[in-house]
Amino acid sequence: MSQYASRLGRRSASPSRLRMPGAPRRPRRIAMLSVHTSPLHQPGTGDAGGMNVYIVELAQRLAAINIEVEIFTRATTAALPPEVELAPGVLVRHVDAGPYEGLAKEDLPAQLCAFTHGVMQAWAGHRPGHYDLVHSHYWLSGHVGWLAAERWGAPLVHAMHTMAKVKNASLAEGDTPEPAARVIGETQIVRAADRLIANTAEEAGELVRHYEADPGKVAVVHPGVNLDRFRPADGRAAARARLGLPQDALVPLFAGRIQPLKAPDVLLRAVAVLLDDRPELRSRIVVPVVGGPSGSGLAKPEGLQKLAARLGIADVVRFRPPVGQDQLADWFRAASVLVMPSYSESFGLVAVEAQAAGTPVIAAAVGGLPVAVRDGETGFLVPGHDPADYARVLRAFADEPALAERMGAAAARHARSFGWDTAASATADVYTAAMAEHRRRVRARHA
Instruction: Write out the binding residues for UDP-N-acetyl-alpha-D-glucosamine.
Output: 42-43, 50, 257, 262, 323, 345, 353
With beta carbons less than 8 A apart as the criterion, state whether 253 and 293 touch. Answer: no
Question: How far is the C-alpha of 180 from the C-alpha of 164, rounded, in Å?
Answer: 9
CB-based burial, 343-377: b 16+ in 10 Å, e otherwise: bbbbbbbbbbbbbbbbbbbbbbebbbbbbbbbeee
Task: For 149-191, give the secondary structure using H, E and C.
Answer: HHHHCCCEEEECCCCHHHHHCCCCCCCCCCCHHHHHHHHHHHH
Half-sphere exposure of 284 (CA within 13 A, CB side): 14
With beta carbons less than 8 A apart as the criterion, state whether 335 and 253 touch. Answer: yes
* DSSP code, position 389: H
CB-based burial, 114-131: b 16+ in 10 Å, e otherwise: ebbebbeebbeeeeeebb
* DSSP code, position 219: E
Beta partners for residue 362, in sequence order: 339, 380
Residue numbers in the known binding site are 36, 42-43, 47-52, 105, 138, 162, 182, 257, 262, 323, 332-333, 335, 345, 353, 359
Identify the H or E element spanning 134. Answer: strand 133-137
Closest among 343, 344, 359, 349 to 411, alpha carbons compared: 359
Q: Determine the length of the chain.
A: 447
Residue numbers in the known binding site for Mg(2+) are 332-333, 335, 359
With a CB cutoff of 8 Å and minimum separation 6, the contacts of 47 are 36, 37, 105, 257, 294, 295
With beta carbons less than 8 A apart as the criterion, state whether 29 and 8 touch. Answer: yes
3-state helix vs strand vs coil in the chain, percent to 5: 50, 15, 35
Residue numbers in the known binding site for 1D-myo-inositol 3-phosphate are 36, 47-52, 105, 138, 162, 182
Q: Is 289 left (phi over 0), alpha (psi -120 to 50) or beta?
A: beta
Cα dihedral value 344, 155, 188, 143, nearest 10: 80
